[in-house]
Amino acid sequence: MSRLVSAFNRPGHIALIAYVMTGYPSIEATLKVVPLLAQSGCDIVELGIPFSDPLADGVTIQKASFGALQNGVTPQLCLEVARKLSKSVPLVFMTYFNPVFSYGLEKFCGACASAGVDGLIIPDLPPEEGAELEAITRRKAIDLVYLLAPTSPEERIRLVAERSRGFIYLVSVTGVTGARHKLPANLDSFVTRVRKVATQPLCVGFGISTAEQARQVARVADGVIVGSRLIQLMETDPSMAAVADFARELRLALDQNA
């Protein structure tokens, strides 16, 4: 059983997944915040690998990606950071296909395995084009996580249910990442559609920015993914106290809902 699967293996437990951009606002901040998130109740941490054209991301993560690139963050540096953090919490790299392809699929996956990375999320890699990377990640014991959107047709849902490993990432909105004031009205029906055919844990991300929203998502999903709001807190409070407080608030909301 992979470390990602183990994060969902407690009856009634809703997984809390945090996203941070590697190297933003600094490498030191990443090395500090990830163990703190784990201590504050996060079950999995997604580490973003910055890319110049982050098409699935909103303003907050685009800014963080640009800042990380300005800081000289490369995939190689992200791997070195992951190696230092992987013992504290299960890690997933979230990036785009271009940096992985440029690094070399086999070489990148081998480096991920050596660094202790547990999974990959690549928003611009559809399952129809993922066979080669799927085969490599399986050999390296890395979970390749696919995404579904509310607009995904039944055929795509079935395909992702067959191929995604670790969990399935459900994009809550037909849009980009970013904190939002309310959740979409059709979220429950979307999760229900996927659950009819998928056996993997279902995790919802994009737009979750409050404990109450996390509580609402936890009523229908197996995991809650929060990113943009955490990055905003990291920008305004270098001590990371606000990040830790928010993570604990999210954890409490999920546990109360269990």
Tokens of 198: 């998928």
The answer to whether position 42 is within a domain reads yes
The answer to whether position 181 is within a domain reads no
d(CA 36, CA 244): 6
- The predicted structure's pLDDT at residue 173: 65
Q: What is the mean pLDDT of residues 174-197?
A: 73
Q: Which of 106-120, 174-188, 214-228, 236-250 has the lowest mean pLDDT?
A: 174-188
- The predicted structure's pLDDT at residue 175: 45
* Contact status, residue 7 vs residue 143, Cβ threshold 8 Å: no
Q: How large a percentage of the chain has pLDDT more than 70?
A: 93
The answer to whether position 159 is within a domain reads no
The answer to whether position 191 is within a domain reads no
d(CA 78, CA 209): 26
For residues 1 and 191, the model is more confident at 191
pLDDT surpassing 70 at residue 227: yes
For residues 12 and 145, the model is more confident at 145
Task: Give one word for 176, left, alpha or beta, with left for phi > 0 and alpha for psi -120 to 50.
Answer: beta
- Residue 57 pLDDT grade (very low, low, confident, very high; cuts 50, 70, 90): low
**Which positions ≥6 away from 101 have C-beta within 8 Å?**
none
Say which CATH number the domain at 112 has: 3.20.20.70
Full domain range(s) for residue 125: 3-144+208-257
The answer to whether position 203 is within a domain reads no
Tokens of 36: 């703190």
The answer to whether position 239 is within a domain reads yes
* Contact status, residue 205 vs residue 150, Cβ threshold 8 Å: no
Tens of pLDDT, residue by residue over 145-172, are 999 999 999 999 999 999 999 999 999 7
The answer to whether position 193 is within a domain reads no
Q: Residue 179: how many CA atoms within 13 Å on its side-chain side?
A: 11
Instruction: Single out the residue of 157, 153, 151, 205 nearest to residue 183, CA to CA.
Output: 205
Q: What total of structural domains would you count in the chain?
A: 1
Query: Do you know the residue count of the chain?
Result: 258
* Contact status, residue 50 vs residue 68, Cβ threshold 8 Å: yes
**Which positions ≥6 away from 157 have C-beta within 8 Å?**
148, 193, 194, 197, 198
Active site residues: 46, 57
Residue 257, judged by CB atoms within 10 A of its CB (0-12, 13-18, 19+), counts as middle
- The predicted structure's pLDDT at residue 1: 75
**Which positions ≥6 away from 80 have C-beta within 8 Å?**
115
The answer to whether position 152 is within a domain reads no
- The predicted structure's pLDDT at residue 178: 40
